[in-house]
Amino acid sequence: MKRIFLQWVLVFSVYNIGVLPVAAQELGQSLDSLEVRPSLVNSRLSLPTQLTQVHVISPGEYFAPPLVADIPDDRFGDMVRMGRNIFTKTGVYAKRYAGNGLNCSSCHLQEGRKPHGIPLWAAYGRYPMYRHKTRTVVTLEERIQDCFIYSMDGIAPTLDAPEMKALVTYTKWLSKGAPVGVDLPGRGLPNVSRTQDLDPKRGKIVYETHCEFCHGKDGKGQKHTNGEGYMFPPVWGGDSYNKGSGLQRVRTLAKFIKGNMPLGASFSLTNQESLDVAIYIWLQERPRNPKMSQAMDFFFPNMAR
């Protein structure tokens, strides 16, 4: 009986690997990355052989949200500050809803201000909008609930929760002056297009070169020594986003990496590098999608949502 079960597990696992969007085994060898990408050589005393694209920002190209110092000193301002606290330290100020080691600002970089880093000021005026994921029109509140369920692997605050109101108020304050219903430059994530098939092996090399420094060899981030959560957030493992979240889509993760990683060097990775590292991260362990059963998750650990 037990042997039959194990056989089934084996069969399902093989099947599962078979339906990966990449045929990792065949295509991994099509390119000897060590020849083309000198950054993968250990020695750092070499001369440039390849110049990648330069991302130029003109002044005024992106929306500039108001300064934190300008939060008014009234009850509205209190709500904004509460929202900002929750946003930047979710594990502290929204502990009852947060389920992992991430904060809102782990994905919405620089307190939700960074263009191409899913900025809040570009999101506020877009909701309510139709979302393909849910196939309904969702309000900002419902979108925030999804963030808590999937990206934070936690519990959704109710629509009338003070935390929810604070987050919406913070978002509104941050969007001061942004037009409603208009796609602002820098909204969401940048586009990434694919030129060749993805290869998690190349992705692993990219990860070790560019990401490991902060996110750690095991992808579990780096914690503060004083126990106050993560200095650099985990990108996989039990304390990271779950399989239902947006970043678990390879293309979305690649977009995020392309537009934001490494910090201060956005757009430095090529599209292909971003996609390769994204699929490498996609293949790692993380909490299951709460909308999917344990059994499904066991047999199809990387099934698309």
Partner 1 sequence: MKSSSNIKRSLVSRLKNMSVWSMFLFLLFLSFIIFLIQSVLPISSSSHNLHRLAGEQLALNGRGNIPACVPCHGLQGQGNAGIASPRLAGLHPDYIKKQLEDYARDPLRTRAVVEPIARDYIKTPRTYGDLTVFTPGTRYDPKMNSLAKLLSAEDRHNLAIYYSNLAFVASPKAYDFETLERGEDLALRGKPEYGLPSCNSCHGPKGQGFRAIFPPLAGQPVTYIIAQINKWQTGKRDNDHLALMRNIADQLTDGDKVNVAAYYDNLSYSVNSE
SS3 299: helix
User: How far is it, in rounded angstroms, from Cα 178 to Cα 175?
Assistant: 5
Binding of residue 69 to partner 1 (CB under 8 A)? yes
Tell me how far apart the terminal alpha carbons of the chain are, to the nearest angstrom. 32
User: How far is it, in rounded angstroms, from Cα 171 to Cα 19?
Assistant: 40
Q: State yes or no: cis peptide before 179, omega within 30 of 0.
A: no
User: How far is it, in rounded angstroms, from Cα 209 to Cα 236?
Assistant: 17
Q: Which residues contact 294 (CB under 8 A, 6 or more apart)?
A: 288
Binders in 113-172 for its own copies, by CB under 8 A: 124-125, 127-130, 135-137, 139, 141, 159-160, 165, 168-169, 172
Return the bridge partners of 131, or none: 136
User: How far is it, in rounded angstroms, from Cα 125 to Cα 59?
Assistant: 22
For its own copies, give the closer residue by CB, 148 or 173: 173
User: How far is it, in rounded angstroms, from Cα 146 to Cα 132?
Assistant: 13
Q: Which does 263 bind (CB under 5 to 8 A by kind): partner 1, its own copies, none?
A: partner 1
47, 74, 227, 294: residue in contact with partner 1 (rule CB under 8 A): 47
Fill in the amino acid letter for 207: Y
- 185 alpha-carbon distance from chain centroid: 19
For partner 1, give the closer residue by CB, 214 or 292: 214
For its own copies, give the closer residue by CB, 170 or 282: 170
For partner 1, give the closer residue by CB, 29 or 58: 58
- In the complex, least distance from residue 126 CB atom to its own copies, rounded to whole angstroms: 9
For partner 1, give the closer residue by CB, 114 or 255: 114
29, 73, 264, 295: residue in contact with partner 1 (rule CB under 8 A): 264
Q: Which does 47 bind (CB under 5 to 8 A by kind): partner 1, its own copies, none?
A: partner 1
| Rounded alpha-carbon distances, angstroms, from residue 78 to 84, 85, 293 | 10, 10, 41
Q: For residue 67, what is the enclosing H or E element?
A: none
For its own copies, give the closer residue by CB, 28 or 188: 188
Binding of residue 59 to partner 1 (CB under 8 A)? yes
Fill in the amino acid letter for 213: F
Binders in 209-248 for partner 1, by CB under 8 A: 209-210, 213-214, 222, 224, 228, 231
Binding of residue 242 to its own copies (CB under 8 A)? no
Q: What are the residues binding its own copies (CB under 8 A)?
A: 74-76, 79, 124-125, 127-130, 135-137, 139, 141, 159-160, 165, 168-169, 172-173, 175-182
Q: What are the residues binding partner 1 (CB under 8 A)?
A: 37-39, 44-59, 61-65, 67-69, 109-111, 113-115, 117, 119, 209-210, 213-214, 222, 224, 228, 231, 262-268
